[in-house]
């Protein structure tokens, strides 16, 4: 059975993974790609760690807390980069990142 | 923006990923682990390809269809193995696998 | 023990994963990022499937052949995109992609 | 170009990923699977974080150091579990884990 204490954090990770993958793809299609290059990099990094973290919680990894701690850090950085940009996908992504960072910090503590 | 045609298939992949990771972890704790060894293997394989496939659709991969096709095949095999076992986590996992296989086949065709 | 028939293909996948990740990162730092945007996308996709494919062979996945087939297709596409560009990292990446595609096709057949 | 300071650590991660995936697969075929269940779990976890860490270094992730720190911790735990068992694949895996843990600690500091 899914460990219920993880439920909200897993949900936040999966939503953040989606927002980051969507933002990554949208940034690659922006006219001024150069301006988005750090956003592209962090989106991909953040999407990947969110997927990794969800998997860790879903499978009761003995390292779930440490993985959540790292995930919170990457989400925080990605959110800070995304909120600098005006695009809708970046705004939405920043929100998901900050929410996920918060849920992950709760799990990690 | 998320490609809306992918929405249900992504959801099915994420649910299947969760069911497989939960089943994987539960199988490893079963008394008769030996009987579950092929289930453990397929659960992990299926969880991983489901995560991979969700990511592909979320980021508009030009290979999303081929990846869905592969995912359908692995989900089908995992579902068939899981449904052989009486455990609740296996029954639930089999269901998620078959639903995901179906959604992935739709996307792939 | 590692299945020896997989040895060269695993090596090709790991080298291609590295070349693609290096190319991805270098493309994001190019002055004309826009020109590299499809290369960035395919590099990341190709790096990820190569890692996935290496893992499948290393762990004797029952789906190794199908995964190799998909990997060959993505490597081929990434190689074709990379060889359009003059950058050293793109040339090197294209070479690794074509070699990996060939090894994967051998495994898949 | 590949960041040369990462070269040995990437190599250690890729070797550890392989040893863990091989050990995972071999453990699932052992007669006494139950005895290997924690080894199976840690092998998979360790293989996955090693692949993740190699990717981070190859693509110049701004989080490479933190990821290496987490990888070192998981490798250490996996090595300690593997060295409890007499199987050849476990002994070999333990060695790769401890070497990778050491390289990752160097990168993280």
- Provide the terminal-to-terminal Cα distance of chain C, rounded to the nearest Å: 23
pLDDT at D13 over 90: yes
A93 vs B3, residue with greater confidence: A93
Which pLDDT value is given to residue D3?
A: 77
Write down the ipTM of this complex: 0.95
From the number of C-beta atoms within 10 Å of its C-beta (0-12, 13-18, 19+), residue B61 rates as buried
Positions in chain C whose pLDDT score sits under 70? none
End-to-end CA distance of chain B: 23
Q: Which CATH number fits domain D4-108: 1.20.1270.360, 3.40.50.410, 3.40.50.40, 1.10.730.10?
A: 1.20.1270.360
Note the pLDDT of residue A77.
98
> Is any Cβ of chain A less than 8 angstroms from the Cβ of D77?
yes
Task: Please write down the HEC assignment for all residues of B29-72.
Answer: HCCCHHHHHHHHHHHHHHHHHHHHHHHHHHCCCCCHHHHHHHHH
* pLDDT given at position A5: 84
**Min Cα separation B16/chain A (Å):** 11
Helix pair C37-58, C64-82: axis angle to 10 deg: 160
Mean per-residue pLDDT over chain B, rounded: 96
- How far is D17 from D56, CA to CA, in rounded Å? 14
User: Residue A32, Cβ neighbours under 10 Å: how many?
Assistant: 10
Q: What is the pLDDT of residues A45-92, one digit of tens each?
A: 999 999 999 999 999 999 999 999 999 999 999 999 999 999 999 999
Which of C29, C34, C46, C52 has the highest number of chain A CBs within 10 A, making it the mutation to test binding with A?
Answer: C34
Q: Distance from first CA to last CA of chain D, Å, rounded? A: 23
| Alpha helix ranges (H) inside D1-109 | 7-29, 37-58, 64-82, 88-108
Residues of B in contact with D41 (CB under 8 A): 25, 28
pLDDT beyond 90 at D18: yes
Three-state SS for B98?
A: helix
Is C67–B70 a contact, with Cβ atoms under 8 angstroms apart?
Answer: yes
d(CA D31, CA D9): 35
Please report, for chain D, the start and end positions of each structural domain, with discontinuous segments joined by +.
4-108
Q: What is the pLDDT of residue A62?
A: 97
Cα→Cα distances B20→B23, C11, C73, Å: 5, 29, 27
Beta-carbon separation of B33 and D37 below 8 A: yes
Suggest the residue from B11, B30, B51, B92 to mutate for an interface test with chain A (most A CBs closer than 10 A): B51
CA D102/CA D97 separation, integer angstroms: 9
| A39 and D CB contact within 8 Å | no
Tokens coding B98: 């078959």
List the pLDDT tens digit at each of the 109 positions of chain B: 777 789 999 999 999 999 999 999 999 999 898 999 999 999 999 999 999 999 999 999 999 999 999 999 999 999 999 999 999 999 999 999 999 999 999 999 8
The tens digit of pLDDT for each residue in A26-40 reads 999 998 988 999 999
Spatial distance between the Cα atoms of C45 and B3, rounded to a whole number of angstroms: 18
C61 touches chain B (CB under 8 A): yes
Q: What is the pLDDT of residue C109?
A: 87
């Amino acid at each position: 059975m899914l460990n219920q204490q993880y439920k909200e954090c897993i949900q936040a990770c999966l939503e953040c993974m989606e927002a980051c993958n969507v933002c990554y793809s949208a940034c690659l299609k922006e006219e001024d790609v150069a301006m988005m290059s750090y956003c592209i990099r962090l989106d991909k990094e953040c999407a990947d760690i969110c997927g990794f973290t969800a998997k860790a919680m879903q499978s009761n990894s003995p390292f779930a807390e440490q993985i959540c701690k790292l995930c919170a850090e990457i989400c925080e950085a990605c959110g800070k980069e995304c909120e600098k940009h005006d695009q809708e996908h970046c705004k939405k992504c920043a929100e998901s990142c900050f929410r996920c960072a918060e849920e992950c910090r709760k799990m990690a503590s």
